[in-house]
Amino acid sequence: MSPVDESFSTRPPSYRRLWESGELSGRVREAYRRLSACTLCPHHCRVDRTRGERGWCRAGARPVVASWGPHFGEEEPLVGRYGSGTVFLSYCVLRCLFCQNYALSWDAEGEEVSEEELAEIMLELQDR
């Protein structure tokens, strides 16, 4: 096992520390507050995504997951032996002319998932 693998395997994930301290629930409340007058991207549309309004990015209140899985396309310290967990979400606000993920970013390819389903995806990637 490389030193990178060892250090990551012995430290608990940051979300556990946030959950145990109670800070995670505060961050969730703040995220929903920001969705009700959306300022999550630099466009600051201020639409109420919690009521189904769509702004410049066209995203709703729930994430749209296009794909997910282990990813090996980065430097070794980031991917280790098992790959980094990657979740591709639809609706990018940049809309780059030469986007390599056009179908995800512009065409909103993917499936809307609940917060619980997204957490399950992330935990499954962590277990891998």
pLDDT by residue (tens digit) across 50-74? 999 999 888 899 999 999 998 888 8
pLDDT score at 3: 53
Q: Is residue 107 predicted with pLDDT exceeding 70?
A: yes
pLDDT score at 7: 52
Kind and range of the H or E run holding 15: helix 14-21
- By mean pLDDT, which of 33-37, 93-97, 116-120 is the weakest? 93-97
| Average model confidence (pLDDT) across the chain | 86
Query: How many alpha carbons lie under 13 Å from residue 109 in its C-beta half-sphere?
Result: 10
Q: In this prediction, what percent of the chain has a pLDDT beyond 70?
A: 92
